Structure 1
């Protein structure tokens, strides 16, 4: 399991070869793994099958309400493939291209939705800061973005299970991102982008500090398995 876990953490594309018992030849699949889960005493690797060279771009996992992308009609599940006639092959390239512009600049995004490729004109907005008296609103925004609510782990819980970090998922919205990924109530967020998480404030800090527009979650699920997944913050 070690190489699979490292591939998820390192955002590596894997080429898997498998030969069933009694078969003469092995079959091969190219996969972008994003979740490793244990169920009924078996381990399952969940990811996106990739036909080499067939899909390029930045996959949008969430769109912030009121953001420039949302106002332009970009939706969760879209794949951004270009900015101003320049191809984009990854979330990193998307963030780098956007970083070259300033608030108020207009850009044209080329995106794929299903089998349809379209364009959208976007006017970039200045990122709003969150002050102390807006913290409750910001907490609600985090909960809405992830589709879950959270609570810090008690000292007694940490001592009992010998944990020094973690933020408990106390509720999951059936139609939210966590439910879609498979994160259950009772799961514990351990780290985001390698930083320990103990509060919603820590989540906000890691989101703000994400230089490549990606938040990489490491979670402990109620059945004891570790789930790793990426959340795009670029849109």
Structure 2
């Protein structure tokens, strides 16, 4: 037990350590407080509440637990079957496997139960939660703060923003909360999260807004999350984060954790986006997004320098999907998108979100840079498919590079420390490229060469250099010569990695 600021164990340890070292120690005296001494006054920081009780009492009735029964696919080789299959082919086990029926090829389905959180947003029983909470649900039950169990049905769901709207089947008047504005909460302001972590319904935690505008990668292309350090855990998904006025400023969605528990890094969908999406789901049951059909990346300063562009603001087209609206409109690899319908884009993320808000089957003006010149292209955007990256067939594109491999052998380029060979037909098919696409495969890399230091590896395929096709080593060397003549220090390479095209720059050799 600790007393007067120092523990008895600490004193014993100090004395024992001194005896071992052969030196004396000075043991501090334990002095009781003077009679009549006043305790130190503890004050909250300016603006901080001494208690969140009034706020929680106000909003808690609107926060619910979401209990879900769903179906999940189970591998035919899971569990005991998977354990046994590892012995197939082992000497002495032949008779056992001959008598045993062969495992099924198709996955089986099993019933799964999961827990999440949600909150009422209307008096008539509309509830907001996460898409991943109710995904593939066959039965949904809402449990209110006073323990009442209510059956619910799905109104609409949106996988891309991880939002869903439910409606309780029992008619009545329910306590509800309203969306506020995450923009009005500053970094460092107090926030309070309520939910159902690990099935412990009615749990409240407090913390601060740690950051805003967090991008969490391709899995969440339409969301800039707010980051909070109010502890949220498994089961908090779909629950609300409140400001001190009781407004919902975010819908808890994800945590960053190596252990599965809270480490103080949680992410919530900002209220502005949540309200926009839930309003659409209530009206239409789904969100229809515009689709362009391109792979895009940020136009970085390095890329802009290699292309001779002064303003490094825009989105660089890395690839165009066969049969997509972009291909039909004539967009090409290496085009730089500057604006859509006059709205300037700053990077790949802003482009994705602007396009997503376009109405399907409408014509829209895209301002682009192609080969250093500005021009406008009208694109009739489509509706975003469930899997926009699914292959639509290995077809010949009218916009594809028509130059075929000359069959000329490759060469080792000493200045770059790399050997380049024309891409073979087998490689082209394996990478999912069009029949007319050409390129140079990296077949040897010197670790100390320019390509090696830039991180290039054997097996990668260079499709274009500074926007020009490179079917042969001679074509690549001509691009290098032109870049040097233009007094550039880098060249921009379109590189095929698996089924995706990305960009990278390499320095030009001196001389």
- Give me the TM-score of the superposition, normalised by structure 1: 0.40
- Rg larger in 1 or in 2? 2
- Give me the TM-score of the superposition, normalised by structure 2: 0.22
Q: Which has the higher contact order (CA 8 A, sep 6+)?
A: 1
